[in-house]
A and B are shown apart, each in its own frame.
Chain A
């Protein structure tokens, strides 16, 4: 069972780059790393997914070192609307070959004006 560890909370000023690191020491060879964003009273929203090295989309970048035991979500120039909880997920394959999506406690990001 791959488990993730993230900081409980982070504060950042508007316009700054924010990096949230997730530890996943027991990640399996074929597991992907996925990040979700959740605003209060809403369902989580898929942000980005990667397997190794670096992935970038219009919202964020994901950095994964060669040993894949951690990953870093990078949010460029955050705004107040980026205040949310960010979840890091890794694979959790069940006996039937289907992967259960397991959320941890997430990182609560507070963007300050």
Chain B
């Protein structure tokens, strides 16, 4: 079975631009979470979606938004990019966030560089 997939792998954007990152969960998984990982730090929770509804939100500005589609794939959108948004963006999937929220399966991430 395929694991969590993310696209694109790498991305370079300019300050002020908008970016959309995509994630496909493991087949059968209904929950998708997004994380931002800055070099040298642990992943920081951004959003969690379950059954197409937002179930959790971390301490990120409104420039960050996300959605989950009927097939459980997800998009993370970031508007008005800042240099500080440069990071590895990770997507993780799980079957149900309530049953076992900590056993998540992570994708390889999208490396975003803002210049």
Contact = CB atoms under 8 A, between A and B. Distances in A.
Q: Do A and B come from one complex?
A: yes
A98 B107 contact: no
Given A49-B102, A105-B42, A100 B107 contact: no
Interface residues of A, number: 25
Contact of B109 (A43, A49, A99): A43
Nearest to A43: B106
A63 interface: no
A100 B50 CA distance: 13
Interface of B: 4, 33, 35, 41-45, 48, 50, 55-56, 58, 88, 90-92, 97-98, 100-109, 111
Given A41-B108, A46-B103, A101-B102, 20 more contacts: A32-B102, A41-B88, A41-B111, A42-B106, A43-B90, A43-B106, A43-B109, A46-B105, A89-B102, A97-B98, A98-B48, A98-B56, A99-B56, A100-B45, A100-B58, A101-B104, A103-B35, A104-B42, A105-B41, A105-B42
Interface of A: 32, 34, 41-46, 49, 85, 87, 89, 91, 94, 96-106
